[in-house]
């Protein structure tokens, strides 16, 4: 029997819920809304939102856990390096350093130290620690530590350099996120400006266009005009144009949210929560303002 990970279970569950509501929306479009209080487009928006929010929240929580863990790992490496400078082996230095406090890492470090005290080789203890934590930064750092320990020499110096490199990587990542925040703010601003524009079009401009088209057609019915002059104004298509504007808002919200995630850390998953927030807020504003 194949055991699904928590992430896959959330993805599959969100996909099923999304498909259910989207199908209800399509059926509502063809045959009339099944739930009287909701439009067919409401159903589709709910389905898209359901697909985004489950995996998005899971990824957000997981990334926060990774961030908390990786922030404290350089501190642990420095403490191990300091213990190593007193002539201790890597295994002894890890056991001594495990008495410190490292936030979210503390329990896992104590667990690794306990294994070493029970006689587990330091390489196996490190690999077990790495499998449990399984974050990109720690994967790289643990591989370097194991290689340095197997090569012999002054492991303390290697640990100090690894800790320094890890801290520099984290600082560079923070600087990059600060720089990208400006672009993310521009995307947020442009989205809500777009929503405001759609409200103006759907509530003011398009209804007036429909009225003008209807008035022109009614007036032309009582006039004699040459047949080669087009007088047909398709004002009945105005609601379709308004609907297309609303659909464009949905795509705009999802696309901008995903782009914010890509700008923040280069991952589409990071943008799923933003996509959910922009989608729901934009559509609710249009519904409240009577533009959807």
Indicate whether 117 belongs to any domain. yes
Indicate whether 201 belongs to any domain. no
- Within 8 A by CB and 6+ apart from 100, the residues are 75, 76, 79, 106
Comparing 155 with 93, the larger pLDDT belongs to 93
Indicate whether 15 belongs to any domain. no
What pLDDT band is residue 280 in, cutting at 50, 70 and 90? very high
Question: Tokens representing 80?
Answer: 């191990």
Indicate whether 222 belongs to any domain. no
Question: Tokens representing 136?
Answer: 């990109």
- Within 8 A by CB and 6+ apart from 135, the residues are 66, 69, 70
* Percent of the chain whose predicted confidence (pLDDT) is above 90: 24
Asked whether 254 and 52 are in contact (CB, 8 A), the reply is yes
pTM score, two decimals?
0.79
Which burial class, exposed, middle or buried, applies to 172 when counting CB atoms under 10 A from its CB (0-12, 13-18, 19+)? Answer: exposed
pLDDT tens digits for 40-67?
899 999 999 999 999 999 999 888 888 8
Indicate whether 168 belongs to any domain. yes
Asked whether 174 and 200 are in contact (CB, 8 A), the reply is no
Helices 155-200 and 238-265 meet at what angle, rounded to 10?
A: 170
Q: What is the mean pLDDT of residues 113-129?
A: 88
Sign of the Cα pseudo-torsion (90, 96, 98, 101, in order): negative
How far apart are the C-alpha atoms of 291 and 245, rounded to whole Å?
9
Rg of the chain on CA atoms, in Å:
30
Where in the sequence is the domain holding 139, given as residue range(s)?
69-172
**Three-class SS state of 102:** coil
What pLDDT band is residue 153 in, cutting at 50, 70 and 90? low
Indicate whether 20 belongs to any domain. no
Supply the pLDDT for residue 235. 65
Q: How many domains does the chain have?
A: 1
DSSP tag of 204: I
What pLDDT band is residue 3 in, cutting at 50, 70 and 90? low
pLDDT tens digits for 186-241?
999 999 999 999 999 888 888 777 777 777 666 666 665 554 555 555 667 778 88
How far apart are the C-alpha atoms of 203 and 199, rounded to whole Å?
6
What mean pLDDT is reported for the chain? 84
Indicate whether 218 belongs to any domain. no
Q: What is the mean pLDDT of residues 250-277?
A: 90
**The residue to which tokens 């104590």 are assigned:** 110
DSSP per-residue letters across 265-279: HS-SGGGHHHHHHHH
Asked whether 38 and 89 are in contact (CB, 8 A), the reply is no
From the centroid of its chain, how far is CA 33?
31
How far apart are the C-alpha atoms of 179 and 45, rounded to whole Å?
32
Indicate whether 146 belongs to any domain. yes
Supply the pLDDT for residue 33. 63
């Amino acid at each position: 029997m194949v055991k699904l990970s928590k992430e896959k279970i959330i993805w599959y569950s969100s996909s099923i819920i999304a498909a259910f509501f989207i199908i209800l929306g399509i059926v509502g479009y063809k045959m009339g809304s099944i739930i009287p209080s909701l439009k067919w487009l409401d159903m589709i928006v709910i389905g898209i939102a359901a697909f985004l929010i489950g995996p998005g929240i899971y990824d957000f929580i997981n990334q926060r856990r990774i961030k908390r863990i990786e922030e404290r790992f350089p501190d642990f490496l420095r403490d191990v390096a300091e213990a190593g400078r007193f002539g201790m082996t890597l295994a002894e230095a890890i056991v001594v350093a495990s008495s410190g406090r490292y936030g979210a890492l503390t329990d896992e470090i104590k667990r690794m130290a306990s294994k070493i005290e029970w006689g587990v080789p330091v390489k196996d203890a490190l690999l077990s620690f790495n499998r449990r934590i399984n974050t990109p930064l720690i994967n790289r750092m643990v591989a370097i530590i194991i290689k340095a320990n197997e090569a012999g020499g002054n492991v303390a110096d290697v640990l100090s350099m690894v800790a320094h490199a890890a801290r520099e990587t984290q600082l560079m990542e923070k600087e990059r996120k600060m720089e990208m925040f400006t672009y993310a703010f521009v995307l947020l601003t442009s989205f809500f400006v777009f929503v405001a524009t759609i409200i103006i079009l759907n509530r003011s401009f398009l209804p007036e266009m429909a009225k003008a088209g209807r008035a022109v057609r009614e007036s032309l019915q009582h006039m004699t005009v040459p047949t080669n002059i087009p007088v047909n104004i398709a004002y009945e298509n105005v609601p379709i144009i308004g609907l297309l504007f609303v659909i464009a808002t949905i795509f705009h919200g999802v696309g901008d949210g995903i782009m914010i995630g890509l700008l923040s850390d280069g991952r589409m998953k990071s943008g799923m929560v933003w996509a959910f927030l922009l989608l729901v807020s934009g559509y609710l504003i249009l519904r409240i303002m009577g533009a959807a």
